[in-house]
Amino acid sequence: MTVLRLAVPTPLRRLFDYLPPPGMSPSQAAGLRPGVRLRVPFGRREVIGYFVEAATGSEAPAGSLRPASELLDTEPLIGAALIELAQWAASYYHHPPGEVYSALFPKRLRDGKAHRGLGEPAWRLTDRGRGLPPGAPARSPRQAAALDLLREPGVLPARQLAEADISAAVLRALRDKGLVESTTLAEDTRTATCRESLTLNSEQAAVVAAMLDAREGFSCHLLEGVTGSGKTEVYLQLIADCLRRGRQALVLIPEIGLTPQTLGRFRARFDADIAVLHSGLGEAERYRAWEAARTGRAAVVIGTRSAVFTPLADPGLIVVDEEHDASYKQQDGFRYSARDVAVKRGQLEQCPVLLGSATPSIESIHNALVGRYSHHRLHRRAAAAELPAIEILDIRRQPLGGGVSPALLEALESCLAGGRQALLFLNRRGYAPTLQCHDCGWVAECDACDARLTVHRRRGLLRCHHCGAAHSLYRACPQCHSRELVTTGVGTEQAEGFLCGQFGEHRIYRVDSDSMQGRDSMAALVEQIDRGEPCILLGTQMLTKGHHFPGVSLVGVLDADALLFSADFRGEERMAQLLTQVAGRAGRDGAPARVFVQSRYPDHPLLQSTLSCGYAEQARALLEARRASGMPPLGHLVLLHTDCADAQAAEGFLQAVRDAAGNALPAGANLIGPLPAPLQRRANRYRSQLLLSAPNRREAQAGASLLVAEAERLPARRGLRWSIDVDPQDLF
């Protein structure tokens, strides 16, 4: 008996057995290749499954196996290396294989539609159609005319048939009779060429030379280069080499909408088909980009996190830009790290992987220091620009307006007066993070979350930034009816108001997720800023991501203290990265620049170390601290999350997993919890977690398997969801 083992998109972490579809011979079944799609019955529905392997028997009770309904692909649409990557990811992240396979396909293929190439839609005669005599079918002159038109060329673009007055209905009727079929005309593939590049400086040239030596087969490289050191130019020249050899390059970047400049630089450099993949695409655009990547027509594929799973005909290089960026880790569902998957993919595809950042993750620095990755460094800025020094502004006892101290205000004045641009960083949107009653102390909180409501004054709203709930602004305290309601803390909306009052003659651009809603709003903003007129850019994290604004010569961090006191083990790393990245926006054109950091804790060791040594040194100190505490990358973590409307049920579930797993834990592994998650109640669901730590990856993996097995063995509880997170980003 031949049994087909399929990955089926369900939350279950296993494969499902089916008999071959009716009409498929055992030899055909044995010859199926991994990744082909089949339509299969599942419960009372039909779903799309992905063939993984054939077996000669099944553990399912005899007679319970159902045949698959239909084979959808004769050949897999996805190459063997990517299939292997999916299997690896399902196993490493302990995620249901069907959901991982689904992540490889665009929606229309996940929905079971036929695969269609990209060329122009066309119709062609089938063998039966070709066999008909001229003039047939006699009873339908329109259909006969269509067949006559098609007879000589055999295939015609749909457009041309329409011009000859053959309607789509006529063609469909012919198709239903099996006389014609729809197809596509392949367009010419464009040959990729590269326009003029910059002359590399000696540091850049050394990196490019070393990478070219390693261009065959797998190797992983960390490019640690200060902000503005010309990392992007290094990527561009390596990609050019890749294209010259007729191979494709895959480039991952943290967020496309936010960095239209990066895309612009690629478009300006290569005369080639560049496929762009990100979450803002419509289905048709996504399909096009996916198919162009798959067939090799796209020479360069640029995308965010999920693009790491794009099929490629012939990959020659994988680049992960800003590799430290937290957005590479998916935070729900299939919780993979695109950076780590990219490295694995390079191994399977046998091509080099380049991770680049001015502030590499401690993980990657560790991998470079132990020799697992080749380590390349760029110590200097490329365009003769100096890295600005960071100065700390002690704001204790200072009168602040919109969060801005007098010293920073003065610096802003002289910056604008000098015709230059300033960038202010404040990682809090809205007007103020707290609304409070001055008389009784009442604080506006979200009904559904353990969180305060943020004041959005312009819209007259209080908003929860965790669940999205909105409430109109109170006029009086709901508790004591006092009208003395005050806000504390400053958000971007308030700072913007203050700055507009101070610098009315200049443009103030606020950049946060409230102001940057349209798809192209960031691109429009960048265009404005590129004109070079003096202005102030005020924004959240959005402003720190790899932008290149040459006219900025003043950078201010309004509230460093909000970053200082993170309970998470990655808090210091994130803070150092953020400060370095924000500071790195200054002085990119070589003009003298200043960076001010406002704090009420000017002597805090974290600030002091950011000041006295660069990120590279700080990161190495953080690595030593992780060694001492056994935290990643010197230890390995797995989190089991639950989320449930009933707090007790969630904790009880984790406790039961803990009790069951406790004795079987691999050597050296530890369980901590169950503990409430950071913001335990969110949208009226209680979140708890159980943390597993282990000295090595192998034990962490064994521990994760154990937790999953125990969680799956426990009886399902209504409304309780659980998920596993391997290599979690944040713990607290």
The binding site for ligand ADP (CB under 6 A) comprises 198-201, 204, 225, 227-233, 382-383, 548
Residue 334's binding partner among ligand ADP, Zn ion, none (Cβ under 5 to 8 angstroms by kind) is none
- Comparison of 227 and 688: residue with beta carbon closer to ligand ADP: 227
Shortest distance (Å) from residue 593 CB to ligand ADP: 14
Strand order of the β-sheet with 248-252 is: 274-277, 300-303, 248-252, 315-321, 353-357, 220-225, 374-378
Cβ nearer to Zn ion, comparing 252 with 444: 444
**Size (the chain), residues:** 732
Query: Could you give phi then psi for residue 7, rounded to 5 degrees?
Result: -90, 120
- Residues contacting 731, CB < 8 A, separation 6+: 568, 569, 637, 639, 691
Report, in Å, the least distance between residue 50 CB and ligand ADP.
38
Query: Minimum distance from CB of 381 to ligand ADP (Å)?
Result: 7
Task: Tell me which residue of 402, 306, 386, 384 sits closest to 100, measured CA to CA.
Answer: 306
Choose the contact partner of 327 out of ligand ADP, Zn ion, none; CB within 5 to 8 A by kind: none
Using CA atoms, how far apart are residues 643 and 59, in angstroms rounded to an integer? 33
Report the SS3 class of residue 138: coil
Considering the complex, state which of residue 204 and residue 359 has its C-beta at the smaller distance from ligand ADP.
204
Cβ nearer to ligand ADP, comparing 171 with 318: 318
Of the two residues 174 and 453, which places its CB atom closer to Zn ion in the complex? 453
Within 13 A of 322's CA, how many CA atoms are on the CB side? Answer: 26
**Is residue 70 helix, strand or coil?**
strand
Chain Cα centroid distance, residue 625: 29
Find which of ligand ADP, Zn ion, none residue 560 binds, CB within 5 to 8 Å per kind.
none
Give ∠ CA 664-669-672 in degrees, rounded to 5: 95
Q: How many helices (H) and strands (E) does the chain have?
A: 23, 32
Could you say which residues in the range 421-450 bind Zn ion, by CB under 5 A? 437, 439-440, 442, 446, 448-449
In angstroms, what CA-CA distances link 501 with 409, 495, 553? 12, 10, 22
β-bridge partners, 671: 692
546, amino acid identity: G
Site for Zn ion in 452-491 (CB under 5 A): 464, 466-467, 469, 477, 479-480, 482
CB 616 → ligand ADP: shortest distance, Å? Answer: 14
Q: According to DSSP H, which parts of 544-688 are helical?
A: 561-564, 571-583, 605-612, 615-629, 647-661
Q: How far is the CB of 678 from Zn ion (least distance, A)?
A: 14
**Residue 437 contacts which entry, Zn ion, ligand ADP, none (Cβ below 5-8 A, type-dependent):** Zn ion
566 binds, among ligand ADP, Zn ion, none (CB under 5 to 8 A by kind): none
**Least distance CB 226 / ligand ADP (angstroms):** 7
CB 52 within 8 A of CB 2: no
Instruction: Kindly tell me which of 168 and 198 has the beta carbon lying closer to ligand ADP.
Output: 198
> What single string gives the DSSP state of each residue in 450-509?
SSBPEEETTTTEEE-TTT--EEEPPSS-TTT--S-EEEES--HHHHHHHHHHH-TTSEEE
Q: How far is the CB of 432 from Zn ion (least distance, A)?
A: 17
Residue 200 interface partner, choices ligand ADP, Zn ion, none, CB cut-off 5-8 Å depending on type: ligand ADP
Is the Cα dihedral 613, 615, 617, 622 positive or negative?
positive
Which one of ligand ADP, Zn ion, none interacts with residue 464, CB within 5 to 8 A by kind? Zn ion
- C-beta of 268 vs 440, nearer to Zn ion: 440
Nearest distance from C-beta of residue 447 to Zn ion, angstroms = 7
Select from ligand ADP, Zn ion, none the partner in contact with residue 480, using the beta carbon and a kind-dependent cut-off of 5 to 8 Å.
Zn ion
Q: Which does 477 bind (CB under 5 to 8 A by kind): ligand ADP, Zn ion, none?
A: Zn ion
Residue 229 near which of ligand ADP, Zn ion, none (CB within 5-8 Å, type-dependent): ligand ADP
Q: How far is the CB of 620 from ligand ADP (least distance, A)?
A: 20
State which residue, 271 or 445, has the beta carbon closest to Zn ion. 445
SS3 336: coil
Closer residue to ligand ADP (CB): 26 or 264: 264
Size of the site for Zn ion (CB under 5 A): 15
* Closest to Zn ion by CB, 90 or 477: 477
Distance of alpha carbon 483 from alpha carbon 651, whole angstroms: 42
CB of 479 to Zn ion, least distance (A): 5
The CA distances from residue 64 to 18, 59, 67, in Å, are 9, 10, 10
Binding stretches for Zn ion (CB under 5 A): 437, 439-440, 442, 446, 448-449, 464, 466-467, 469, 477, 479-480, 482
